Amino acid sequence: MAVRRPGRGMSPIWPVALGVFAVNVPFGFWRAGVRKLSLPWFVAVHAPVPLVVLMRYVAGLGFQLWTFPVLVGAFFAGQLVGGRLRGGERPGGGSVP
């Protein structure tokens, strides 16, 4: 399998980032409704990780260093938006206890 680098052909990074964001919104919604640092909270944060790895693999992104800022940003943005949709995020940060 050929290694893709920025600037060479069309990279699937943005469709994958959108998918990562979309997968994390419901998990962020769930996370905002549970006690911080509890077992359900950790599951809500970490359960999407295998799905993200699968999306990277299917898209042929591999694990090049340049992909991490975009996909990690999409991951946390999805969690944040999901939490805001539930109304559990406080303006100063943190979730409802």
Residue 94: inside a domain: no
Asked if residue 47 belongs to a domain, the reply is yes
Residue 95 lies in a domain: no
Q: Do 64 and 5 touch, CB atoms closer than 8 A?
A: yes
Q: Flag whether 2 is in a domain.
A: no
How many structural domains is the chain composed of? 1
Query: Has residue 91 been placed in a domain?
Result: no
pLDDT value of residue 2: 54
65 inside domain: yes
Range of the domain at 34: 13-86
Does a structural domain hold residue 3?
no
Q: pTM of the entire structure?
A: 0.78
Most confident of 3-7, 11-15, 85-89: 11-15
